[in-house]
């Protein structure tokens, strides 16, 4: 899919322009520039959103090719479609206000406060899966304006969340909601969240608590306070014998493990699932090769479930929580759009707990 930023009258001095952060090749912050580019115009069925906040994600430190192994025109193991056109405006997380609509979109949307679903799905209906992502396969929210399909915007006019909190929701909390739903998490369940201090990890803790689960969070000791503040019932230091500690907390096993680490973590943790338990994995920070005794799976009726992002119903459920303030993302720090390099450097340091957010409009 080509860039949505059109350039009519490229050389005309009166062409409206905006500030946008763009990558010019596969890579990280070193291929990122802050440019003045034409303001995009919405095509039929699309809307233009004035971006008030855009959260950062790990995938903003590299492109989909670097993150997921796309080579040329071949889909990656994660299913993303390449190649990516450059230059590309980054940013998969967007909150803002609709300021223009294309043909076939009712103008009652103008002025609406919205959160953007970053996914373009592989088909219609509730079971379709994400195939293209805002800020990767098409221009994203590291800009003063972004154009998206009208059905991607979700109204949050009355939400008590501020713009930065709303912008933190789509990718991290959408991914977490997909894991919560696919794991069948219910009130009263005891669950384990690995990598609990990261963006998806904190979201899993908060959404698990909102669902009524008791959350055992595995994280580094230095980030324990932030994870506890997010609602975790128990904190387990990842540096020690974490799974032995989990066994002492839940001697009868846990209903589910929501995992973004994988690697050796899986073999150590699967025996701590109760019969019928679910292991839901959405990341491989600890390594992508796993080694388990398959007899443990079938003799105890366990499930290992892969989960990439969310479906349309998952995202709608997340937005319902945002509208009534039932979940409030933790914001570590905000930056003006022009300081995107500094924001990405902070993201890469992994010193923070919570989300880092750009404010293209310069708001607080």
Q: What angle do CA 129, 41, 101 make, to 5 degrees?
A: 70
At residue 194, does pLDDT exceed 50? yes
Say whether the peptide bond before residue 83 is cis (omega within 30 degrees of 0). yes
Contact, 9 vs 16, CB < 8 A? no
Q: How confident is the model at residue 51 (pLDDT cuts 50, 70, 90)?
A: very high
N- to C-terminal Cα separation, the chain: 34
Among the residue ranges 58-62, 272-276, 348-352, the one predicted with the least confidence is 58-62
Could you tell me the two tokens for 230?
A: 């997010």
Q: What is residue 60's predicted lDDT score, i.e. its pLDDT?
A: 76
> In the predicted model, what is the mean pLDDT of residues 277-301?
91
Q: What is residue 77's predicted lDDT score, i.e. its pLDDT?
A: 40
For the chain, give the percent of residues with pLDDT over 70. Answer: 89
The candidate with the shortest Cα–Cα distance to 207, out of 159, 240, 166, 174, is 174
The 10 Å Cβ neighbour count of residue 96 is 27
Q: How confident is the model at residue 201 (pLDDT cuts 50, 70, 90)?
A: very high
Q: What distance lies between CA 15 and its chain's CA centroid?
A: 33
Could you tell me the two tokens for 341?
A: 């390099």
Q: What is residue 62's predicted lDDT score, i.e. its pLDDT?
A: 60
Q: What is residue 63's predicted lDDT score, i.e. its pLDDT?
A: 55
Beta-strand runs (E) in the chain: 17-23, 32-38, 46-55, 88-89, 95-101, 113-116, 119-121, 130-133, 145-149, 153-155, 190-193, 214-219, 234-237, 254-259, 273-281, 303-306, 331-336, 355-359
Q: Which residues pair with 259 in a beta bridge?
A: 281
Q: What distance lies between CA 251 and its chain's CA centroid?
A: 33
- Per the model's pLDDT, the better-predicted residue between 350 and 330 turns out to be 330
Q: What is residue 79's predicted lDDT score, i.e. its pLDDT?
A: 41
Say whether the peptide bond before residue 211 is cis (omega within 30 degrees of 0). no
For the chain, give the percent of residues with pLDDT over 90. Answer: 72
Query: Residues near 282 by Cβ (< 8 Å), separated by ≥ 6?
Result: 175, 178, 179, 200, 258, 259, 260, 306, 307, 308
At residue 65, does pLDDT exceed 70? no
Query: Residues near 275 by Cβ (< 8 Å), separated by ≥ 6?
Result: 253, 300, 301, 302
At residue 32, does pLDDT exceed 50? yes
> In the predicted model, what is the mean pLDDT of residues 199-220?
95
- Per the model's pLDDT, the better-predicted residue between 295 and 69 turns out to be 295
Could you tell me the two tokens for 328?
A: 């409030």
Mean pLDDT of the chain: 89
Residue-wise pLDDT for 305-314, tens only, equals 999 999 999 9
Residue-wise pLDDT for 75-119, tens only, equals 444 344 556 788 999 999 999 999 999 999 999 999 999 999 999
- For residue 312, give the H/E element and its range: helix 312-324
> In the predicted model, what is the mean pLDDT of residues 32-40?
95
H helices then E strands: how many in the chain? 10, 18
Q: What is residue 6's predicted lDDT score, i.e. its pLDDT?
A: 37
Residue-wise pLDDT for 157-179, tens only, equals 999 999 999 999 999 999 999 99
């Amino acid at each position: 899919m080509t860039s949505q930023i059109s350039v009519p009258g490229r050389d005309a001095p009166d062409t409206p322009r905006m500030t946008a952060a763009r990558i010019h090749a596969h890579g990280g912050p070193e291929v990122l520039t802050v440019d003045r580019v034409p303001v995009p115009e919405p095509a039929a069925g699309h809307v233009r959103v004035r971006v008030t906040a855009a959260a950062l994600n790990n995938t903003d430190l590299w492109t989909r090719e670097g993150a997921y192994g796309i080579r040329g025109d071949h889909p990656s193991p994660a299913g993303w479609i390449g190649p990516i056109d450059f230059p590309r405006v980054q940013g998969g997380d967007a909150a803002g206000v609709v300021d223009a609509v294309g043909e076939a979109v009712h103008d009652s949307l103008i002025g609406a406060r919205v959160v953007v679903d970053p996914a373009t799905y592989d088909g219609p209906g509730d079971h379709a899966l994400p195939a293209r992502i805002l800020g990767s396969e098409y221009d994203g929210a590291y800009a003063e304006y972004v154009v998206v399909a009208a059905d991607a915007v979700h109204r949050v006019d009355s939400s008590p969340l501020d713009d930065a909190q709303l912008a933190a929701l789509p990718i991290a909390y959408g991914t977490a909601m997909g894991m919560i739903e696919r794991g069948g998490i219910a009130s009263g369940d005891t669950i384990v969240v690995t990598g609990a201090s990261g963006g998806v990890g904190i979201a899993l803790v908060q959404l698990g608590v909102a669902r009524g689960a008791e959350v055992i969070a595995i994280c580094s000791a230095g980030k324990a306070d932030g994870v506890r503040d997010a609602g975790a019932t128990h904190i387990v230091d990842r540096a020690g014998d974490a799974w032995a500690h989990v066994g002492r907390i839940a001697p009868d096993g846990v209903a589910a493990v929501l995992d973004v680490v994988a690697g050796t973590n899986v073999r150590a943790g699967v025996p701590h699932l109760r019969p019928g338990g679910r292991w839901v994995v959405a990341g491989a920070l600890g390594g992508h090769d796993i080694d388990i005794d398959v007899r443990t799976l079938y003799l105890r009726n366990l499930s290992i479930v892969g989960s990439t992002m969310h479906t349309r119903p998952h995202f709608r459920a997340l937005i319902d929580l945002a509208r009534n303030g039932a979940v409030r993302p933790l914001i570590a720090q905000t930056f003006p759009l022009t300081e995107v390099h500094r924001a990405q450097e902070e993201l890469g340091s992994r010193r923070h707990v919570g989300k880092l957010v750009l404010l293209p409009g310069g708001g607080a």
